[in-house]
Amino acid sequence: MKPILQDLLDKAFSRSPAREANDAIHRIRESEGIGVRSFELVAPSDAGIAWLEKDVLPRLVYHLESLGIRPPSYKGVFVSLFQGEELFFIRTLDFMAIAGAALHLSADQMYARWGTGELRRPMSLDEKVEAPTRKKEVLALPPGTSE
């Protein structure tokens, strides 16, 4: 197991056997409050920094921002991380802190890189806004899934 994955698992606030995932996720949702969502991940055995950067963070950051969930609290979403036969529940704040530190990126840098790209303020009528110049990454579905 790569150190980054162990760091994430060590931050779990709860865990459960993976075979009890539905009940466990439901219990966590109820204990965390109304409207709280789970972001589910399956970690491969060789999960490392490249896995976070390529497969996880683009989807997680985009999902968070599309829900209006921003740092520093990331309230409203927790991460459900499947590793082998275990399910680990990690607060999004902890997950993002570990991932950001591993990639040497701040939360703002992660949101700029993988977020929705929407303005955070109202526009004036005479304001001209240029299309973003950065090329958005195409997020392919994981192998073995279909639309």
pLDDT over 90, % of the chain: 66
The percentage of residues in the chain with a pLDDT greater than 70, rounded to a whole number, is: 84
CA distance 56 to 79: 11
Tokens read off for 61: 């950051």
**Mean pLDDT rounded to a whole number for the chain:** 88
The amino acid at residue 55 is: D
pLDDT band at 116 (very low <50, low <70, confident <90, very high): confident
> What integer pLDDT is reported at residue 118 of this predicted model?
74
Instruction: Tell me how many degrees the CA angle 111-113-115 measures, rounded to the nearest 5.
Output: 45
pLDDT in tens, 99-111: 999 999 999 999 9
pTM: 0.80
Q: What is the DSSP string of 2-28?
A: -HHHHHHHHT-SEEEEGGGHHHHHHHH
Please report the pLDDT score of residue 146 as a whole number: 61
Residue 109: its pLDDT value, please? 94
Q: What is the pLDDT of residues 10-60, one digit of tens each?
A: 999 999 999 999 999 999 999 998 889 999 999 998 899 999 999 999 999
